[in-house]
């Protein structure tokens, strides 16, 4: 008696990759490799051009104090201006994003979203002219009030700058510049909150603010941090606005935010000094650019670590 095996099901033919799929795959892979090649090229250029300044004697570096003494005040000014901008812009951007996504009527929300996003399209040189011609003079009375009432705090110690071209003014201008970045990312994250979460909070008797506090902000916390870090990177590298407002001001390290003596930033110092620099001075400026490159890279790495860490504990999970 013979036993017949069950008929085998026909196997599906292997998928055929269309030419368009191959082209897209190769294009995407090439774009990723190109980014790495460009990043490596920039790094090698900065290292090669910075090497003479890294190995030069201290007396050949501008200021005759060595490369560290030259770069450290610039690092301080860069971090101080970016920190002020981040402290001012982040709460305001999150508030704008919450208003647009959860409070404003739909038509008003669309208009406000367009207006906030339009701020990102304004050139930085326009922000610089706005800061030096309009904002700075109008802040002088406020700075005098700060000196009279809060002058015992080192941040608001005088004498007040008569022109208003101070580190605090720079921080406020940078805050306006990074506002659309933080606000746009926060707005997108808040709009992705599951409706089930918000409706469940409201069904349990929560007010709108309690719903935002319990459902929206925990869900979007990683996005807020990521947007803030992107804004911080934008503020660290800003050049023209800072160069216009703080041109001719280089006072080393000082915490006074409203005086005429202000530390310069790395990017603005390069823009102001590069046209008249030759020889080792150019290498010194490129070395300071290398420091800014490393700072920006560390900020991005920190942002990625924070976002990944917060994602494990966010309301999205």
Q: Which domains does the chain have, with CATH numbers?
A: 65-316 (1.10.3720.10)
pLDDT at 311: 58
Residues 6+ apart with CB under 8 A from 159: 147, 259, 260
d(CA 142, CA 162): 12
pLDDT at 316: 46
Helix (H, G, I), strand (E, B) or coil at 160: strand
Residue 140 near residue 152 (C-beta atoms within 8 A): no
pLDDT at 302: 83
pLDDT at 176: 94
Pair of tokens at residue 181: 């970045």
Residues 6+ apart with CB under 8 A from 200: 215
Helix (H, G, I), strand (E, B) or coil at 259: strand
244 class by beta-carbon count within 10 Å (0-12 exposed, 13-18 middle, 19+ buried): buried
Residue 181 near residue 234 (C-beta atoms within 8 A): yes
By 3-state DSSP, what share of the chain in percent is helix, strand and coil, each rounded to 5?
Answer: 75, 0, 25
Count of C-beta atoms within a 10 Å radius of residue 243:
20
Enumerate residue ranges in the chain where pLDDT < 70: 1-16, 64, 248-251, 310-317
Beta-strand ranges (E) seen in 15-79 are none
Count of C-beta atoms within a 10 Å radius of residue 151:
16
Q: In angstroms, how far is CA 177 from the centroid of its own chain?
A: 10
- Rounded to 10 degrees, the C-alpha dihedral 52/56/62/67 comes to 90
């Amino acid at each position: 008696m013979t036993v017949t095996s069950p008929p085998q099901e026909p196997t599906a033919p292997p998928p055929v990759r269309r030419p368009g799929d191959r082209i897209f795959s190769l294009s995407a892979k090439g774009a990723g490799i190109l980014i790495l090649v460009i990043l490596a090229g920039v790094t090698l250029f900065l290292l090669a051009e910075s090497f003479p300044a890294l190995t030069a004697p201290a007396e050949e570096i501008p200021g005759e104090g060595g490369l560290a003494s030259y770069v450290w005040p610039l690092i301080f000014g860069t971090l101080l201006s970016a920190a002020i901008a981040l402290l001012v812009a982040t709460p305001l951007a999150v508030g704008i994003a919450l208003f647009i996504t959860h409070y404003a009527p739909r038509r008003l929300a669309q208009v406000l979203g367009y207006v906030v996003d339009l701020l990102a399209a304004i050139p930085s040189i326009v922000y610089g002219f706005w800061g030096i011609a309009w904002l700075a003079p109008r802040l002088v009375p406020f700075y005098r009030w700060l000196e009279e009432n809060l002058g015992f705090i080192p941040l608001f110690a005088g004498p007040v700058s008569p022109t208003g071209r101070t580190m605090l003014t720079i921080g406020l201008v940078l805050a306006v510049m990074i506002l659309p970045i933080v606000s746009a990312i926060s707005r997108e994250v808040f709009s992705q909150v599951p409706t089930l979460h918000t409706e469940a909070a409201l069904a349990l008797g929560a007010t709108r603010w309690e719903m935002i506090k319990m459902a929206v902000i925990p869900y979007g916390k990683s996005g807020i941090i990521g947007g803030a870090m992107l804004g911080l990177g934008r503020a660290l590298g800003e050049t023209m606005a800072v160069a216009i407002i703080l041109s001719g001001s280089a006072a080393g390290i000082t915490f006074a935010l409203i005086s005429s003596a202000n530390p310069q930033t790395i990017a603005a110092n390069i823009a102001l000094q590069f046209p008249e620099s030759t020889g080792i001075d150019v290498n010194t400026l490129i070395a300071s650019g290398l420091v800014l490159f490393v700072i920006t890279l560390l900020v991005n790495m920190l942002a990625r670590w924070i976002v990944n860490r917060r994602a494990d504990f966010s309301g999205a999970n």
